[in-house]
């Protein structure tokens, strides 16, 4: 454990079986026994994981506390109480707003890289970590390629400890070590899950960060003239500010291999100007977020007019005609062109053609879109996550491709 005075956040990046949970539990126990902490936040991905792993698990808090200082767990209050009056409160990333209001002098965050809403949960916790003269936070996690984790790793007040699964091999069954070595040694999954390496993208992800970074354009750069722009929406099925998925809203454009389109004469090009493999795509804005239907409709319509887009597109499988109805009721919504899409393919089949465009260097992000890029490089076809920003990007680019094949008006 690093010196207690040298850090505000201790980031323990370690592989499976390293002993991360035991380390976090022992740290909490030591803080309570020394009197250094009396109000502690315990944060995990789900409420069950706080209880079953951090508190009641084989390596959890109840297993490391001695009988003379055993805390009482009150599940109805989500609270541990020690004989000396110190308390620890359970929170989950599925309900980040529960962290609004309470104050703490210490926090233990487990598997932060897998949290449902990592940024919102972390920000709410950070605002509450203000009791005492030197509040501390321990983060125990196997790393995954998310922006928040990369950001924490660069902060001056963060102490980083790294460890592999092999570091704790004397306390693990021999069969476990043999199994993971035989299956994952030498793979990206092994680098992440065994050696705790912070990878640029998830193993099996359809996008690579270098494909994005190598062809990024900065805001204000001279861009190729775009003959068509689209606003794409991937709406959340329900709205709850604490639990809802985000509504993905992406603005993108398409150009034909840099041909200028700013002259006087206009004509109809039945198949666009160039074949598909020469078209370039420009991601102009990511306006995604957790919003009510009225709010995302208003935002999408505003973006339609701001970027002088040609159409708004969105998946109608869940909401059907409701999406267009909500858009039409937004200010300026009567003037939009809406193109509903009924998804007949899975996410992978829809995303792979877009991934290929990035690999070929024909997609350009105008600026940096950290959360969108995290979803692109963190999602795999085997994942059960709902990457709303990525889905909206896929709808935008596929929609632009499809429309460009039908024909476009061009200036020459």
Check residue 263 and give its pLDDT: 39
Distance of CA 133 to the CA centre of its chain: 32
Partners of 248 in the β-ladder: 234
pLDDT in tens, 148-158: 888 898 899 99
pTM: 0.63
Q: Is residue 201 part of a domain?
A: no
Tell me how far apart the alpha carbons of residues 379 and 385 are, in angstroms, rounded to a whole number.
Answer: 7
Which residues does 280 contact at the CB level (< 8 Å), separation at least 6? Answer: 224, 254, 255, 256, 257, 258, 362, 363, 364
Q: Is residue 200 part of a domain?
A: no
* Same domain? 185 vs 220: no
Q: Is residue 198 part of a domain?
A: no
* Same domain? 124 vs 226: no
Q: Is residue 160 part of a domain?
A: yes
* Same domain? 188 vs 237: no
* Same domain? 76 vs 39: yes
Tell me how far apart the alpha carbons of residues 82 and 98 are, in angstroms, rounded to a whole number.
Answer: 22
Tell me how far apart the alpha carbons of residues 323 and 343 are, in angstroms, rounded to a whole number.
Answer: 14
* Domain end among 150, 165, 193: 193
Tell me how far apart the alpha carbons of residues 112 and 143 are, in angstroms, rounded to a whole number.
Answer: 8
Residue of 150, 303, 281, 284 whose CA lies nearest to 218: 284
CATH number of the domain that 140 lies in? Answer: 3.40.50.300
Tell me how far apart the alpha carbons of residues 171 and 89 are, in angstroms, rounded to a whole number.
Answer: 30
Instruction: Yes or no: say if 234 and 388 are a contact pair by the CB < 8 Å rule.
Output: yes
Q: Where are the alpha helices (DSSP H) in 129-203?
A: 147-152, 174-184, 188-193
Which residues does 293 contact at the CB level (< 8 Å), separation at least 6? Answer: 235, 239, 322, 326
* Domain end among 138, 160, 193: 193
Instruction: Yes or no: say if 378 and 212 are a contact pair by the CB < 8 Å rule.
Output: no
* Same domain? 169 vs 261: no
The total number of structural domains in the chain stands at: 2
Tell me how far apart the alpha carbons of residues 232 and 388 are, in angstroms, rounded to a whole number.
Answer: 11
* Same domain? 307 vs 175: no
As separate numbers, helices (DSSP H) first and strands (DSSP E) second, the chain gives 13, 16
Sequential pLDDT tens for the chain (412 residues): 666 667 899 998 887 777 899 999 999 999 999 999 999 999 999 999 999 999 999 999 999 999 999 999 999 999 999 999 999 999 999 899 999 999 999 999 999 988 988 888 999 999 999 999 999 999 999 888 777 888 898 899 999 888 777 666 677 777 776 676 666 666 656 656 665 566 666 777 899 989 999 999 876 656 667 889 999 999 886 656 555 578 999 999 998 764 434 434 444 455 555 566 678 999 999 999 989 999 999 999 999 999 999 999 988 776 667 889 999 999 999 999 998 887 767 888 999 999 999 999 999 999 889 889 988 988 888 776 778 999 999 999 999 998 887 755 544 4
Angle at 89 between CA 86 and CA 93, to 5 degrees: 155
Q: Is residue 375 part of a domain?
A: yes
Q: Is residue 3 part of a domain?
A: no
Tell me how far apart the alpha carbons of residues 342 and 315 are, in angstroms, rounded to a whole number.
Answer: 6
Tell me how far apart the alpha carbons of residues 195 and 188 are, in angstroms, rounded to a whole number.
Answer: 10
Q: Where are the alpha helices (DSSP H) in 106-164?
A: 118-128, 147-152
Taking the CA atoms of residue 390, residue 366, residue 342 and residue 371 in that order, the dihedral angle to the nearest 10 degrees is: 20
* Same domain? 147 vs 30: yes
Q: Is residue 199 part of a domain?
A: no
Check residue 268 and give its pLDDT: 46
* Same domain? 34 vs 183: yes
* Same domain? 235 vs 371: yes
* Domain end among 193, 225, 250: 193
Give the position of tokens 């690579």. Answer: 208
Tell me how far apart the alpha carbons of residues 280 and 254 are, in angstroms, rounded to a whole number.
Answer: 6
Could you tell me the two tokens for 180?
Answer: 């993971």
Q: Is 95 helix (H, G, I), strand (E, B) or coil?
A: coil
CATH number of the domain that 332 lies in? Answer: 3.30.420.280
Residue range of the domain that includes 296: 209-411
Partners of 366 in the β-ladder: 217
Q: Is residue 385 part of a domain?
A: yes
* Same domain? 395 vs 342: yes
* Same domain? 234 vs 343: yes
pLDDT in tens, 36-57: 999 999 999 999 999 999 999 9
* Same domain? 29 vs 163: yes
């Amino acid at each position: 454990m690093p010196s207690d005075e040298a850090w505000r956040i201790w980031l323990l990046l370690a592989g499976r079986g390293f002993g991360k949970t035991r380390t976090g539990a022992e740290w909490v126990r030591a803080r309570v026994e020394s009197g250094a902490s009396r109000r502690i936040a315990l944060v995990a991905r789900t409420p069950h994981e706080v209880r079953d792993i951090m508190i009641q698990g084989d390596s959890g808090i109840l297993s490391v506390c001695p009988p003379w200082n055993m805390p009482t767990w009150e599940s109805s209050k989500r609270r541990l109480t020690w004989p000396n009056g110190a308390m620890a409160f359970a929170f989950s990333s599925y309900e980040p707003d529960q962290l609004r209001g309470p104050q703490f002098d210490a926090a233990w965050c487990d598997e932060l890289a897998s949290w449902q809403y990592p940024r919102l949960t972390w920000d709410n916790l950070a605002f509450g970590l203000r009791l005492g003269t030197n509040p501390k936070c321990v983060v125990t996690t196997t790393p995954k390629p998310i922006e928040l984790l990369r950001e924490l790793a660069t902060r001056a007040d963060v102490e980083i400890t790294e460890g592999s699964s092999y570091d704790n091999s004397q306390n693990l069954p021999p069969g476990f070590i043999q199994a993971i070595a035989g299956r994952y040694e030498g793979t990206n999954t092994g680098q992440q899950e065994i050696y705790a390496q912070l990878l640029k993208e998830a193993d099996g992800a359809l996008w690579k960060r270098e494909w994005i970074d190598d062809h990024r354009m900065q805001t204000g750069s001279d861009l190729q003239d775009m003959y068509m722009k689209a606003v794409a929406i991937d709406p959340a099925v329900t709205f709850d500010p604490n639990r809802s998925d985000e509504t993905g809203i992406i603005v993108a454009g398409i150009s034909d291999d840099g041909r200028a389109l700013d002259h006087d004469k206009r004509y109809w090009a039945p198949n666009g100007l160039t074949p598909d493999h020469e078209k370039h795509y420009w991601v102009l804005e990511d306006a995604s977020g957790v919003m009510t239907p009225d709010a995302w409709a208003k935002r999408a319509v505003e973006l339609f007019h701001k970027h002088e887009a040609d159409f708004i597109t969105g998946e109608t499988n869940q909401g059907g005609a409701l999406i267009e109805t909500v858009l039409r009721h937004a200010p300026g919504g009567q003037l939009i062109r809406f193109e509903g899409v009924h998804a007949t393919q899975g996410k992978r089949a829809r995303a792979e053609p877009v991934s290929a465009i990035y690999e070929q260097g024909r997609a350009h992000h105008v600026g940096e879109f950290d959360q969108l890029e995290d979803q692109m490089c963190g999602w795999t076809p085997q994942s059960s996550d709902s990457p709303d920003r990525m889905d909206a990007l896929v709808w935008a680019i596929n929609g632009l491709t499809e429309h460009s094949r039908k024909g476009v008006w061009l200036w020459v």
